[in-house]
Each structure stands twice: as structure tokens, then as C-alpha cells.
Amino acid sequence: MGLAMSYLRLPPSLEGEQDPARIARLVFGARDWRRRHPADRVLDVGGAWQALHYLITGDPWDGRPPESDVVCGGRLLTEEEGVLGVDVIYLAPARVEAAAGMLAETPFDALAERFDPAAMAAAEVQDADRMDAGVCERVLRPAYDGLTRLFSSAAADGQAVYKVMAPAGG
């Protein structure tokens, strides 16, 4: 079982709180956090997160901002093991805006040229050894389109993006 990633866009201040770590505890401390927020503010990319990062940056983990900020970049808020039971990564509004611009300017077809399951498996991208050519259209393109919409909306509203990593199916 691998990891799954979900995104939530939120204003920089929530219930009078401005500290991202405290906001993360307020929001993600509830198991039903997804249902507590409008559907257009939540995006689940499941286990496709690392394949998306690879397509966007050309690397399974690294890259330069703003490209790397879409998936792996940001500030890890849950350094205390087990506090929330998930890892939460915070991306400040200014970085969200830069990532939104990059996503809007980069068509998925330009990234799809990097889709090579064998190379991705060699780079240890999660689940790459189980990917076929259809995954690019069935899974990765819709996830990329969702990221583009979420980041665009967050940037337009001056919001931060919180990324949540948890065991798949958890």
C-alpha cells in the first residue's frame, strides 16, 4: 500500500487563527475534514501524486519552484510523528500564485512527453511498475486538470494550499 495525496485550499486565516500549523490541527484533526469543506476546495489525486510530480519536474522528489511546489514543495507542518496521523504540507499564498501561473502556462500534453513507465519505475515513482499507457489519459490528465483549477482558484482568492499525505485507502 502506497501513499495518497489530497489538497485543500483555505484562506490564510481560519477561525481567527493565522498560524498554518495550528490551522492544520484545527482542520485535519477531524477525520471527516473533506466533508466539512466545499467540494471545489478539495482535490484527491490518490496515489498519482508522485507520477504527477515526476511529469511536472522530471524528478520523483525534487525540482525547482514553482514546478516542485505543486506536489512536493512547501513547509511540512506535522514534524511531530503521529500528531494528526497524516503528513500536512503547507504552501503559502505567494507560492500558490506562482505555481498556479506555471500550471496555467503548461499544457498537460507538454508534460505527457515525460510519461515513460519504465523510466519512472527505475526512478522509484510509486506504482510506476503497474502503469500502462492509458494511465496518462485516464488518471494523470484529469488529476493535472484538477490541480490547475484548484491552484487557479486558490491564487485568485489569495488562499494557501494544504497538502495531506496518508496511506492509500486511509
* 144 phi, psi to nearest 5 deg: -65, -45
Strand partners of residue 6: 44, 164
Distance CA 165, CA 122 (A): 23
Would you say 87 and 166 are in contact if contact means Cβ atoms under 8 Å apart? yes
pTM: 0.94
Write out pLDDT tens, residues 79-102: 655 557 789 999 999 999 999 999
Q: 34 exposed, middle or buried (CB, 10 Å; 0-12, 13-18, 19+)?
A: middle
Task: Tell whether the model's pLDDT for residue 169 goes beyond 80.
Answer: no
Distance CA 154, CA 150 (A): 6
Write out pLDDT tens, residues 33-73: 999 999 999 999 999 999 999 999 999 999 999 999 999 99
Q: 3-167: which CATH architecture?
A: 3-Layer(aba) Sandwich (3.40)
Residue 123 pLDDT level (bands cut at 50, 70, 90):
very high
